[in-house]
């Protein structure tokens, strides 16, 4: 685990600012409180990592690695202007990044994954904010399922109110996201799936907000190009 994922650079503040600060302080002294911290964030981090990988087995392993790192370094953690949740996402993002570094040489292109492009054409219409908001809603539904990950089987069944078209839209966009470079994919996921602000994403990634905005713009443009190439969007 890279040290920059575990350290914050702003001087600590003595005042209690939110419930997380109380819980983290307790977890540094008591294993039961550490368990409450784990219960609070396990589902959220599991969902985020799954959105990044679309691989349940890898997600389980990476989520475990995240919390092992968290509890290994929790004694060194001091409350700073970067909140605990941001610190946690920073560790999770670093784990995903290392996962893809290990797998980079094994990655293969899948341009024809979805068969005849003519059958897919106009599947989504246009890729815009409303479309991504729809995907984000599906992602939040998926995250709720992931919170019961130890009981759920691989590939949770769609909910009763989830239409086949919405499920297919989610699947296609998610697969297209996997074709992006991780730096673009992660900012799209943090923004539209996790609902993070630009400032929060900057804190998680350690980059300036201007850089995040640029990466988000480029990532969305590349995502649209992929969907056009697959015949999902019109040229």
* CATH code 1.10.10.10 region(s) in the chain: 121-235
Percent of the chain that is helix, strand, coil (3-state, to 5): 65, 0, 35
Q: Give CA–CA dist 4/141, Å, rounded.
A: 32
Per-residue model confidence as pLDDT tens for the chain (235 residues): 444 454 443 333 344 457 888 888 888 888 888 888 999 999 999 999 998 988 899 999 999 999 999 988 888 887 666 788 999 999 999 999 999 888 765 555 444 444 444 444 444 444 444 445 544 444 444 444 444 433 332 333 345 455 666 667 777 888 889 899 999 999 999 998 899 999 999 999 999 999 999 999 999 999 989 988 887 777 7
What is the predicted pLDDT for the residue at 137?
47
- Between the CA of residue 190 and those of 45, 87, 128, 145, 176, what are the distances in Å? 11, 14, 17, 18, 16
Whether the CA torsion 52, 223, 227, 196 is positive or negative: it is: positive
The CA–CA distances, whole Å, from 225 to 176, 218, 233 equal: 10, 11, 9
The CATH architecture one would assign to domain 1-6+16-105 is: Orthogonal Bundle (1.10)
Q: How far is CA 162 from CA 152, 157, 174, in A?
A: 18, 10, 16
Sign of CA dihedral 212, 214, 219, 224: positive
d(CA 210, CA 14): 31
Q: Which CATH class is domain 121-235?
A: mainly alpha
CATH 1.10.1740.10 range(s) for the chain read 1-6+16-105
């Amino acid at each position: 685990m890279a040290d920059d994922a575990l350290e914050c650079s702003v001087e600590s503040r003595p005042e209690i600012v939110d419930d997380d600060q109380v819980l983290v302080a307790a977890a540094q002294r008591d294993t039961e409180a550490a368990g409450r911290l784990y219960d609070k964030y396990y589902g959220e981090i599991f969902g985020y990592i799954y959105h990044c990988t679309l691989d349940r087995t890898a997600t389980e392993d990476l989520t475990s690695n995240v919390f092992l790192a968290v509890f290994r370094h929790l004694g060194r953690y001091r409350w700073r202007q970067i909140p605990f949740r941001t610190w946690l996402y920073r560790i999770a993002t670093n784990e995903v990044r290392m996962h893809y570094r290990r797998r980079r040489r094994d990655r293969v292109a899948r341009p024809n994954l979805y068969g005849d492009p003519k059958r897919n054409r106009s599947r989504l219409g246009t890729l815009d904010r409303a479309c991504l908001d729809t995907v984000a809603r599906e992602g939040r539904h998926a995250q709720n399922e992931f919170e019961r990950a130890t009981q759920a089987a691989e590939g949770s069944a769609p909910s009763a109110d989830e239409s086949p078209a919405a499920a297919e839209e989610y699947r296609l966009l998610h697969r297209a996201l996997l074709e992006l470079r991780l730096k673009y994919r992660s900012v799209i996921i943090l923004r539209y799936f996790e609902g993070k602000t630009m400032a929060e994403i900057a804190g998680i990634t350690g980059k300036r907000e201007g850089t995040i905005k640029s990466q988000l713009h480029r990532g969305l443009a590349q995502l649209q190009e992929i969907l056009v190439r697959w015949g999902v969007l019109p040229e």
